[in-house]
Amino acid sequence: MINGNRVTVVLPAYNAAKTLEQTYREIPFDIVDHVILVDDLSSDDTLHVAEELGISHIIRHRENLGYGGNQKSCYNKALELESDIVVMLHPDYQYTPRLIHSMCYLIANGVYEVALGSRILGKGALKGGMPFYKYVANRILTLTQNILMNQKLSEYHTGFRAFSGRVLKSINYNLNSDDFIFDNQMLAQIFYKGFDIAEITCPTRYFEEASSIDLKRSMVYGLGVMKVSLQYMLQRLKLSKFEIFEKQVDPNSEFFKD
């Protein structure tokens, strides 16, 4: 807890048995109140490792819902626990949990309500082993997104994010895709609601056990990113309307609290 703010770390897990313990051991429990792991029907021992570690809140999907579907379960549970700050951390140890302090204090002290760990600020991406073609694609996509969305993020594709509970209650993330494009839709919704987003430089690690998507899925993802950015631009210009921006969060929802 920080300044009376309950802090929850969510771990969207899929086949993370080899890296989960190392990730979990580095979570700063001096400020973290809850850890939620959602297992998206892994085929390895992720669930067993989570139970052995004594993770307080474990959810297992009965079917594989995808990366976005996993995050929906994570955030829904975090709001059910009345979390004031929610940190999404990949349990594949690609991002260091040691930055949770920095990200959470930005939110707890009222400086920002969203903080991203950026692999692109500084030289963390290539130094950490990001494949060069992915780095180039990241830079091209980010430049295009910034132009279409009139923003200045260093990247939109990081898997290390922290949100205030107010932000999560303000956007209808449950309408988003269950696939990888969920992350971009969520950032577009946050910007559309008028929230500013902070970034801090984040070292990253690329190794065999770290999660990644193949070239075909990367291309599908890239096209999805462009679609979301265009939708955002058209919505802001009032030239069209899209459900993810239009449909309001139900104030009677069990997750909505003043």
Q: What is the pLDDT of residue 208?
A: 59
DSSP assignment string, 164-210:
EHHHHHHS-GGGS-SSTTHHHHHHHHHHHTT---EEEE--B---TTS
The number of angstroms, rounded, from the C-alpha of 21 to the middle of its chain's C-alpha atoms is: 20
Between CA 148 and CA 152 the distance in angstroms is: 11
Q: Which residues contact 2 (CB under 8 A, 6 or more apart)?
A: 31, 85, 104, 105, 108
pTM above 0.85, yes or no: yes
Helix (H), strand (E) at residue 23: helix 20-25
Between CA 13 and CA 40 the distance in angstroms is: 6
- Would the pLDDT of 229 be above 60? yes
Round the CA-based radius of gyration of the chain to a whole number and report it. 17
Model confidence band, residue 102 (pLDDT cutoffs 50, 70, 90): very high
pLDDT, mean of residues 91-101: 94
Q: What is the pLDDT of residue 205?
A: 75
pLDDT, mean of residues 225-236: 96
Give the CATH H-level superfamily of domain 7-246: Spore Coat Polysaccharide Biosynthesis Protein SpsA; Chain A (3.90.550.10)
pLDDT, mean of residues 221-227: 93
Between CA 70 and CA 177 the distance in angstroms is: 11
Distances in Å between the Cα of 41 and the Cα atoms of 11, 16, 108, 139, 212 are 14, 11, 34, 33, 17
pLDDT in tens, 148-174: 999 999 999 899 999 999 999 999 999
- Would the pLDDT of 63 be above 90? yes
Q: Which SS3 state, helix, strand or coil, does residue 102 take?
A: helix
Q: What's the DSSP call for residue 248?
A: P
Q: What is the residue extent of each domain of the chain?
A: 7-246
Q: Which residues contact 16 (CB under 8 A, 6 or more apart)?
A: 23, 42, 44, 46, 49, 91, 92, 211
Q: Which residues contact 42 (CB under 8 A, 6 or more apart)?
A: 13, 14, 15, 16, 17
- Would the pLDDT of 23 be above 90? yes
Q: Which residue has the tokens 């949100």?
A: 163
On the 0-12 / 13-18 / 19+ scale of CB atoms within 10 A, 19 is: buried
